[in-house]
Amino acid sequence: MRIGVDLGGTKIEAIALDDAGAELHRQRIPTPRHYDGTVQAIKQLVEGVEVTVGERGTVGVGMPGVMSPQTGLVKNANSTWLIGKPFDKDLTAALGREVRCENDANCLAVSEATDGAAAGQGMVFAVIIGTGTGAGIAVGGRAHRGGNGLGGEWGHNQLPWATPEELPGPDCYCGKQGCLETWISGTGFGKDHIRVTGQEISTHEVVSRAEAGDPAASATLERYISRLTRGLAHVVNLLDPDAIVLGGGMSNVMRLYDELPKRLPPIVFGRECATPILRAKHGDSSGVRGAAWLWRPGEAG
């Protein structure tokens, strides 16, 4: 049995999968907003799942931020109480077995490469376009973290081929301007509509109006698709993945799957691009399932 844990800012979710990926049990609890409480909450959650299922399992955890390969401590986490802590080691000690921790976007990539929309593909680039923008890379079904723990940190690169109107770009919480996250997250999409039109409506409402043919909302969606296309063109030029998978709230905009494959070839180097653009099969469950799949078949914790 594999247990995956998805550590979010407001809730912690655990799932138990059998060897074929079938769900055995799922449970969630609120996230304590302090470090020791988070470690203990995950311990109790895992133990509760094991009592319910009646079996001991391997444990993988999807988390905000990454474990630094240099220091062994958490960095780049928006759950700031994790930063500077030996999170994987403390969980390992608490649960009495090895616990594998990985960035939540990498878990999305692992999930979709294992038994999701891109199952069996060699290299998968998985994008989260929700409240924020993140991405992860899976190679052979395993997360690619990189020597600095930054593999897939696509959202904090600048918008490619920015127009004069797009420069210098919105302020990003990372301290820079014009990061992809500020443009192509759901939050960025909504703020762009407000900035251009003065209409303070929800992201969902902007999409609904665009689908109904509203000119202002259609223009906002057009700008969004253009920016997302430019961002993904850089991914193809750098990695040339076998598949790109979209997750997060904006991945539910079905027009993306018609427009992106048509718009990528003209701006990719060589003017050819057959990379499939896929919607995450497991939706919001991809992260927690990917955490479970951090342990591959035949591995024991």
Tens-digit pLDDT profile for residues 85-113: 999 999 999 999 999 999 999 999 999 99
Q: Taking residues 172-178, what's their average pLDDT?
A: 93
Q: What is the pTM of this model?
A: 0.93
Per-residue pLDDT tens for 16-33? Answer: 999 999 999 999 999 999
Closest CA to 116 of 229, 244, 25, 301: 244
CATH number for the domain whose boundaries are 117-280: 3.30.420.40
User: What's the rounded Cα separation, in Å, for the pair 111 and 20?
Assistant: 13
pLDDT band at 301 (very low <50, low <70, confident <90, very high): low
Closest CA to 234 of 265, 276, 261, 268: 268
User: Residue ranges of the domains in the chain?
Assistant: 2-104+284-292, 117-280
- CATH pick for 2-104+284-292 out of 3.30.70.120, 3.40.50.2300, 3.30.420.40, 3.40.50.300: 3.30.420.40
CA distances from 62 to 5, 14, 184 (A): 6, 10, 23
User: What's the rounded Cα separation, in Å, for the pair 109 and 140?
Assistant: 11
Per-residue pLDDT tens for 185-205? Answer: 999 999 999 999 999 999 999
pLDDT band at 78 (very low <50, low <70, confident <90, very high): confident
pLDDT band at 34 (very low <50, low <70, confident <90, very high): very high
What is the percentage of the chain residues whose pLDDT exceeds 90?
92
Q: Using alpha carbons only, what angle is made at residue 276 by residues 245 and 182, rounded to the nearest 5 degrees?
A: 45
In this predicted structure, the answer to whether residue 300 has a pLDDT above a threshold of 80 is no
What is the percentage of the chain residues whose pLDDT exceeds 70?
100
Q: What is the pLDDT of residue 177?
A: 97
Average pLDDT, the chain: 96
In this predicted structure, the answer to whether residue 296 has a pLDDT above a threshold of 90 is no
2-104+284-292 and 117-280 share one fold: yes
Report residue 142: phi and psi, to 5°.
Answer: -115, 145
Q: Taking residues 243-249, what's their average pLDDT?
A: 96
DSSP state of 199: -
pLDDT band at 61 (very low <50, low <70, confident <90, very high): very high
Q: What is the pLDDT of residue 298?
A: 72
Q: What is the pLDDT of residue 299?
A: 80
User: What's the rounded Cα separation, in Å, for the pair 260 and 232?
Assistant: 9
In this predicted structure, the answer to whether residue 73 has a pLDDT above a threshold of 90 is yes
Sheet of 142-143, strands arranged across: 142-143, 133-139, 123-129, 243-247, 277-279
Residues 138, 113: contact at Cβ < 8 Å? yes
End-to-end CA distance of the chain: 10
Q: What is the pLDDT of residue 297?
A: 76
pLDDT band at 148 (very low <50, low <70, confident <90, very high): very high
Q: Taking residues 27-56, what's their average pLDDT?
A: 96
